């Protein structure tokens, strides 16, 4: 009788000890590898990473998460296994740099391939692609040349014609931050209030779903990243959404259209520093830059690399030359402005 209870506890203990031991074994490390913390969805970059491994013989290990990677790096400290990070926007890279988690890299290849505006002055992070935040306007209901600048979006004549995703989405926050950098806070706030007053519905959905809303007649104008037009054009369901709208590169005649970059950096803790630099260099070279353009319709940062024909068909534009490191400093302020004007509560009846 008693042995049965002893066996119960023995089994339990052994099972737990075994499980803990099995679970704590870190994967064996390959000879040549680079460990990547990615804040960027892996689906789009995986083919690039595979190409890098084929070319260099360096294995790429990835952890992807949209938030928390900064905190993970920070907590792990000098022992962190991460060698490099990739991100969809400058904000995260900027924050990591501010927290002292990245290291400066001096690389002729990176400096040659990436224009100065798209990298940190000390090589702490590097932009790899740019994405333009443009207006999507209805092909039928908005006349060509009618909408020219971001400022026009606040024009009362567009009352009830605008739809947009949450003002707190990183793409919108970045745009608002760039306006603060250029025009100051007061003017930006006034603009935000004007845009809010024009909303047809509560800010919601994604960049793609704004095109869908325009197709359905819910609104005429929205803000979205240009590459989504390309992505929608190759999707059977979303194709008509994209076809209902055309892009307007706002501020093209002025200071230029707002662009953000996706980019990468080498961590301070990097054990495989040389491989991390090699990876970033690979991503800045012609082959990888071409794939970014072809697979995801983004603008390559390297001069001379062709954009996707579909994107080329949307027309040339001038991008805002302001330093993205400067823009990133205003993100917290931009978020507060969105709260202050109650942007996400706009568009109500």
Partner 1 sequence: MSDAPSVTRRRAPAVLGRFDGWAAGALVVSGLVAAPLIAVIVLALTPSDDIWSHLLSTVLPLYASNTVFLMTGVGAGTLIIGTATAWLVTMCRFPGRRVFEWLLLLPMAIPAYVIAFLYTDLLEYAGPVQSALRHAAGWTTRRDYWFPDIRSLGGAIAMMTLVLYPYVYLLARAAFHEQSVCVLEVGRTLGRGPWRSFFTIALPLARPAIVVGVALAMMETLSDYGTVTFFEVPTFSAGIYDVWRNMSSVAGAAQLAVVLLVFALILVAAERWARRDRRFHHTTTKYRALPSYRLGGGRAGLAFLICALPVLLGFVLPVGVLIEHSLRAGADSFGWEYLGFAANSLLLSSVSAACAVAVGLLLAYGIRLGRSPLLKYAARIASLGYAVPGAVLAVGVLVPLAAFDNMVDGWMRQLVGVSTGLLLSGTLAAVTFGYVVRFLALAYGAIDASLAKVTPSMDGAARTLGQTPGGALARVHVPIIRGSVLVAAMLVFVDGMKELPMTLIMRPFNFETLATWVYVLGVTERLQDYSPGALVIVAAGVLPIIVMIRTTSRSRPGQGPGQGMTS
Q: How far is the CB of 206 from partner 1 (least distance, A)?
A: 6
Residue 50's alpha-carbon distances to 44, 54, 125, 131, 141, in angstroms, are 11, 6, 22, 23, 44
Span near partner 1 by CB under 8 A; candidates 76-84, 108-116, 272-280, 304-312: 76-84
Distance CA 133, CA 225 (A): 4
Q: Is residue 23 involved in binding partner 1 (CB under 8 A)?
A: yes
Distance CA 255, CA 262 (A): 21
Q: How far is the CB of 92 from partner 1 (least distance, A)?
A: 8
Which three-class secondary structure state does DSSP give residue 221? strand
Find the binding residues for partner 1 in span 84-123 (CB under 8 A). 91, 95, 98
Which residues contact residue 312 at a Cβ distance below 8 angstroms, ignoring those fewer than 6 apart? Answer: 306
Q: Is residue 331 involved in binding partner 1 (CB under 8 A)?
A: yes
Q: Is residue 30 involved in binding partner 1 (CB under 8 A)?
A: no
Q: Is residue 310 involved in binding partner 1 (CB under 8 A)?
A: no
Q: Is residue 212 involved in binding partner 1 (CB under 8 A)?
A: yes
Q: Is residue 28 involved in binding partner 1 (CB under 8 A)?
A: no
Among 14, 17, 50, 66, binds partner 1 (CB under 8 A): 66
Nearer CB in complex with partner 1: 251/346: 346
Tokens of 79: 């022992």
Category of 301 on φ-ψ map: left (φ > 0), alpha (ψ -120 to 50) or beta: alpha
Q: How far is the CB of 143 from partner 1 (least distance, A)?
A: 20
Among 47, 57, 77, 115, binds partner 1 (CB under 8 A): 77
Q: Is residue 220 involved in binding partner 1 (CB under 8 A)?
A: no
Nearer CB in complex with partner 1: 6/106: 6
Distance CA 21, CA 5 (A): 24
Q: How far is the CB of 338 from partner 1 (least distance, A)?
A: 8
**How does DSSP classify residue 125?**
-
Task: Print burial letters for 125-163: b (CB count within 10 Å at least 16), e (below 16).
Answer: bbbbbbbbbbbbbbeeebeeeebebbbbbbeeebeebbb
Q: Is residue 296 involved in binding partner 1 (CB under 8 A)?
A: no
Q: Is residue 316 involved in binding partner 1 (CB under 8 A)?
A: no
Distance CA 165, CA 247 (A): 16
Task: Point out which residues pair with 136 in neighbouring strands.
Answer: 222, 247
Q: Is residue 138 involved in binding partner 1 (CB under 8 A)?
A: no
Task: Point out which residues pair with 62 in neighbouring strands.
Answer: 36
Q: Is residue 31 involved in binding partner 1 (CB under 8 A)?
A: no
Residue in this structure with the two tokens 């983004």, named with its chain if needed: 298
Residue in this structure with the two tokens 């390559």, named with its chain if needed: 300
Q: Is residue 63 involved in binding partner 1 (CB under 8 A)?
A: yes
Q: Is residue 54 involved in binding partner 1 (CB under 8 A)?
A: no
Among 123, 127, 203, 346, binds partner 1 (CB under 8 A): 203
Q: How far is the CB of 103 from partner 1 (least distance, A)?
A: 19
Q: How far is the CB of 107 from partner 1 (least distance, A)?
A: 25
Q: Is residue 222 involved in binding partner 1 (CB under 8 A)?
A: no
Nearer CB in complex with partner 1: 8/274: 8
Distance CA 150, CA 326 (A): 19
Distance CA 81, CA 60 (A): 12
Shortest CA distance to 131 belongs to which of 306, 304, 311? 311
Q: Is residue 238 involved in binding partner 1 (CB under 8 A)?
A: yes
Nearer CB in complex with partner 1: 112/336: 336
Half-sphere exposure of 43 (CA within 13 A, CB side): 2
Q: How far is the CB of 231 from partner 1 (least distance, A)?
A: 8
Q: How far is the CB of 35 from partner 1 (least distance, A)?
A: 6
């Amino acid at each position: 009788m008693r042995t049965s209870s002893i066996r119960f506890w023995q089994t339990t203990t052994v099972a737990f000890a075994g499980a803990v031991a099995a679970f704590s074994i870190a994967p064996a490390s390959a000879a040549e590898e680079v460990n990547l913390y990615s804040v960027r969805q892996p689906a789009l970059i995986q083919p690039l990473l595979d190409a890098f491994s084929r070319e260099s013989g360096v294995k790429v290990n990835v952890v992807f998460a949209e938030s928390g990677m900064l905190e993970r790096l920070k907590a792990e400290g000098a022992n962190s296994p991460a060698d490099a990070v990739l991100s969809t926007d400058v904000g995260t890279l900027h924050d990591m740099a501010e927290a002292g988690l990245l290291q400066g890299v001096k690389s002729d290849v990176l400096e040659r391939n990436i224009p100065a505006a798209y990298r940190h002055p000390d090589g702490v992070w590097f932009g790899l692609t740019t994405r333009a935040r443009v207006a999507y306007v209805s092909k039928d209901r908005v006349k060509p040349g009618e909408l020219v600048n971001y400022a026009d979006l606040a024009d009362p004549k567009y009352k009830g014609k605008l739809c947009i995703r949450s003002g707190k989405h990183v793409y919108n926050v970045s745009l608002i931050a760039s306006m603060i950098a250029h025009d100051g806070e007061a003017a930006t706030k006034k603009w935000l209030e004007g845009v809010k007053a024009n909303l047809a519905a509560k800010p919601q959905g994604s960049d793609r779903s704004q095109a869908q809303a325009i197709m359905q007649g819910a609104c005429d104008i929205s803000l979205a990243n240009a590459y989504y037009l390309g992505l929608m054009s190759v999707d059977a369901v979303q194709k008509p959404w994209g076809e209902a709208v055309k892009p307007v590169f706002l501020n093209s005649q002025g200071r230029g259209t707002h662009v953000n970059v996706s980019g990468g950096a080498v961590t301070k803790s990097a054990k495989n520093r040389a491989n991390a630099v090699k990876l970033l260099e690979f991503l800045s070279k012609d082959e990888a830059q071409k794939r970014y353009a072809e697979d995801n319709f983004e603008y390559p940062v390297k001069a001379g690399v062709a954009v996707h024909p579909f994107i080329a068909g949307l027309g040339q534009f001038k991008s805002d030359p302001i330093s993205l490191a400067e823009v990133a400093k205003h993100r917290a302020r931009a978020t507060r402005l969105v709260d202050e004007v109650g942007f996400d509560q706009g568009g109500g009846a």
